[in-house]
Amino acid sequence: MTPPSATLVPHLWSGRLLGAMVITFITQGVTIGAYAARLAGVQTHRIATSISLYNLFMTVGRLATLFSVFFIAPLSDAAGNAAAKLQGNTAALSAWQHVFEGQLRLIVLAGTIGMLLFAVLLPMFTYLFRRGVRSFEARGSVPHAVAQLLKFSNVLDVLRSEHLPTLAQLRSFDWRVVPKRLLISNVLVTGVYSIGVQAAFLASVLDPGVARTATSLSGVINGVGTILFTLFVDPTSSMITDQAIHGNRSVEEVRTMVFYLSLTAIVGSLLSQLIFVQAALVIEYVARFANHVHF
């Protein structure tokens, strides 16, 4: 007989859900803010230093994503334990899975909102990177440069640099100066990154028998996203930045590239919601396959 506690549908909102949303909001937003490093590199003519800071931001953002697991995993355990106990009780099982899917979608949505906010703050991040490049050159140490930037007076200076773009400025961004393959690739890469971890956790609840295998596949998915980024997004954006340094492109073209990289990242995050369940089903299938193949 199914324990009464297992039939209870969990509340959608919880402290763990809010914690996962906050972390995802910040980490996805930082990814957008890192785009500003390329523009700052062109403006300061310190492309190597700015790219190093860019890689630092991207790495920190991706590593910080792992901390969201501390909040998502207990939600997954609760849903997975209920799913294991509710085999045969279709209505109750579906209710648990539906609530857990809703929680995961809210986490992905928090990342999208973070991207939107940090995209609005791109002028501030560009100024921050310019200050960071100069501070690093003066001190020769990233920790010392960061400590300098975190001084109260410098923080206020960075905040004052923020300004919303005018409608005329937005219209001046001509997408035709940016390679279409770069924009399409960025949509796909961001779509993969946005749901990799969450889709794996949903797959673990869809079939509790392969839960551990499904969860471990999140690293594989993000690894594929990293490879796609390295092959298709990073080299092209770096080439455009180099061309601007050598005078073959204008600073405005780099600014346009940064704008559209941010926009396509947001689009990719939104589109990931459409393929979220399908991605979880693919992970579930792969997990089942891995568990039934004998070598």
Residue 174 reports pLDDT greater than 50 = yes
Q: How far apart are CA 229 and CA 223, in angstroms?
A: 10
92-107 pLDDT, tens digit each:
778 888 999 999 999 9
Tokens of 60: 């920190």
Q: Looking at the domain assignment, is residue 295 inside a domain?
A: no
Please give the average per-residue pLDDT across 268-275, as a whole number.
95
Q: Looking at the domain assignment, is residue 1 inside a domain?
A: no
Question: Quick one: pLDDT band at residue 2, thresholds 50, 70, 90?
Answer: very low
The answer to whether 85 and 6 have CB atoms below 8 angstroms apart is: yes
Report pLDDT for 5: 45
Q: Looking at the domain assignment, is residue 136 inside a domain?
A: yes
Q: What is the DSSP letter of 132?
A: H
Report pLDDT for 4: 47
Domain residue limits at 96: 11-289
**Model confidence, pTM:** 0.89
Q: Looking at the domain assignment, is residue 4 inside a domain?
A: no
Instruction: Specify burial of residue 64 (Cβ count, 10 A radius: 0-12, 13-18, 19+).
Output: middle
Return the H-helix or E-strand segment holding 201: helix 180-206
Q: What is the largest CA-CA distance in the chain?
A: 74
Mean pLDDT check: name the lowest of 83-87, 143-147, 178-182, 252-256.
83-87
Q: Looking at the domain assignment, is residue 38 inside a domain?
A: yes
Please give the average per-residue pLDDT across 80-94, as a whole number.
76
Question: Quick one: pLDDT band at residue 294, thresholds 50, 70, 90?
Answer: low
Report pLDDT for 1: 46
Question: Quick one: pLDDT band at residue 295, thresholds 50, 70, 90?
Answer: low
Please give the average per-residue pLDDT across 125-150, as a whole number.
83
Q: Looking at the domain assignment, is residue 204 inside a domain?
A: yes
Residue 11 CA: distances (Å) to CA of 96, 98, 220, 257 = 10, 11, 31, 42
Q: Long-range contacts of range 53-56, CB-CB < 8 Å, 24 or more positions apart? A: 53/129, 53/132, 53/133, 53/136, 53/142, 54/129, 56/142
Which residue's entry shows tokens 């590239």?
257
Closest CA relative to residue 53, chosen from 28, 30, 74, 71: 30
Query: What SS3 state is found at 151?
Result: coil
27-49 pLDDT, tens digit each:
899 889 889 988 999 998 888 78
Number of domains in the chain: 1
Return the H-helix or E-strand segment holding 64: helix 47-65
Residue 182 CA: distances (Å) to CA of 19, 34, 144, 188 = 33, 17, 35, 10
Closest CA relative to residue 107, chosen from 135, 154, 70: 70
Q: Looking at the domain assignment, is residue 15 inside a domain?
A: yes
The answer to whether 228 and 185 have CB atoms below 8 angstroms apart is: yes
Task: Please give the torsion angle defined by the CA atoms of residues 237, 130, 43 and 182, in that order, rounded to the nearest 10 degrees.
Answer: 10
Q: Looking at the domain assignment, is residue 3 inside a domain?
A: no
